[in-house]
Amino acid sequence: MNVKGHLVHSLAASDELKEGAMMIKRISVLLLAVLLLAGCSKGGSKMSYSERQAAAAGLDFGLAERSNRLGAMLFGQLWKPGGGNLTVSPYSVAAALALAYNGADGETAEELGTLLGYAPDEREQLNTGHQALLQLLNDAGPGIELKIANSVWGMKGLPLRKDYLKTGKDFYNAEIRATDLAAEKSVTQINDWVSDHTEHRINEMLTEPPGPQAVAVLVNALYLKAGWSDVFPEEATAPADFYPPDGAAVRAMMMKRSGYFQYAENEDWQAVKLPYGEGQMEMTVILPGGESSLQELADQLAAGSLPLDEGFASARGTLRLPRFTAGYGAELTKVLQALGVKLAFDPDQGDFPLLADLNRPIYFSKVIHKTYIDVNERGTEAAASTVIEMLAGSAPPADTPFEMTVNRPFLFMIKDVQTQVVLFLGAIENPLDTD
């Protein structure tokens, strides 16, 4: 199933629509973030690895830390044992919410700012941070193609504030479009834009028009095409048992590679890093130990206490990892409310006056998030994630080969090592479950 990524938010307010002079009680804004990382290739790049590393040194790493922390909190709210595979894209959620945050004021802005880690008077710092990060993410370096795009679709006849649109263009490189969001053509227009910016991997984001109460649709699209630095030899892949939570084994196609890896382990887990391109990005795979469980690791991840940034050392060993394709979709309203964003969803108290000049509240009506990931011998097709402050795990002696067979539920994350942004975070309970 080729799931597409995205985020949908709606905001409401206004006395009348200028077109048709139709009176309404509220006007909503649909905020939609599309997430997709795909394939494996030797993508072109303008910057070399060293040039990108030097540029990344000037970034606000606090932005990456807060984006990653948001991802960990989202993961903690969404994951339930036995609930199947889960994937979240904290960067895309954070970017879309930041775009909406620029339209907020009052207590609504304070709540969003608390979640994003930037107070309302720090939005300039947030915006310049996203601007610099966006430039580097769109030039991921040798062997990796990563493309991120934003757009703002305003309701025709209901102009958005010029300052807001300027911020969107200047800092988020957002395309500005106007259309009738109550008409069927808006579905085609937005879906086509998404399809174009995800290399036609995502072709249907909306199934119906946002409606006559919509103020705008905000879209974030993310597409990645990356290959392993060291591929898994296809001839080594073979069927093997994988044990989902229900205990009934399934036959998964198990990839196998031997050599040197960045590896760490303790009594609760084993972890290995698999680099992409020239090492500027990587996937970390975390396997619970025999006396631990995915639930325990997920709890540590959500609490920020799973040590996955320290304790790794070069070690010789053999890794067996299943091929997997997983899609996930969720409506995030309750999750974001649980994380403290309440007024933004309140039809009577939503406060987004910097987005549009209306005399009624503007509010989020929905936040929809979808992701997709495909991992095979050549690389990864996926959508973004999280990095957390971690404790050090002890690595085995370099002369002791390790064995890591990922044949039960596990965690993984995809991270841009140079920018510190985690692009993708997931839990896989069954590699054959593609929904």
Answer whether residue 16 shows pLDDT above 60.
Answer: no
Of 25-29, 36-40, 214-218, least confident by mean pLDDT is: 36-40
| pLDDT band at 382; cut points 50, 70, 90 | very low
Residue type, position 422, single letter:
V
C-alpha to C-alpha distance for 312 and 177, rounded to whole angstroms: 47
Q: In this structure, what token pair is assigned to residue 74?
A: 């989202």
Integer Cα distance of 8 and 403 in angstroms: 43
Helix (H, G, I), strand (E, B) or coil at 372: strand
Q: Are 262 and 125 in contact (CB under 8 A)?
A: no
Whether residue 380 is predicted with pLDDT greater than 80 in this model: the reply is no
- The number of residues making up the chain comes to 435
Domains of the chain: 19-226+326-372 (3.30.497.10), 232-322+386-418 (2.30.39.10)
The whole-number pLDDT of residue 28 equals 54
Angle made by CA atoms 54, 60, 65, in degrees to the nearest 5:
115
**Burial grade of 146 (CB within 10 A; 0-12, 13-18, 19 or more):** buried
Q: In which band, very low, low, confident or very high, does the pLDDT at 39 lie, cut at 50, 70 and 90?
A: very low
- DSSP per-residue codes, 307-335: --SSS-EEEEEEEEEE-EEEEEEEE-HHH
Work out the burial of residue 21: count CB atoms within 10 Å of its CB; fewer than 13 is exposed, 13-18 middle, 19 or more buried.
exposed
Q: What value does the mean pLDDT take over residues 338-356?
A: 90
Give the whole-angstrom CA distance, residue 89 versus residue 75.
9
DSSP state of 371: E
In angstroms, the CA 264 to CA 433 distance is 28
What is the tally of helices (H) and strands (E) in the chain? 9, 17
Q: Is the pLDDT of residue 195 over 60?
A: yes
Contacts of 369 (CB under 8 A, 6+ apart): 5, 6, 7, 33, 35, 88, 89, 93, 329, 330, 331, 332
Q: CA 346, CA 323: separation in Å to the nearest integer?
A: 43
pLDDT the model gives residue 51 = 92
Strand partners, 220: 33, 150
pLDDT tens by residue, 93-112: 898 899 999 999 999 999 99
Query: Where does 79-218 have alpha helices with state H?
Result: 90-101, 106-116, 123-137, 162-172, 184-197
Q: State the pLDDT confidence band at 250, using cuts at 50, 70 and 90.
A: very high
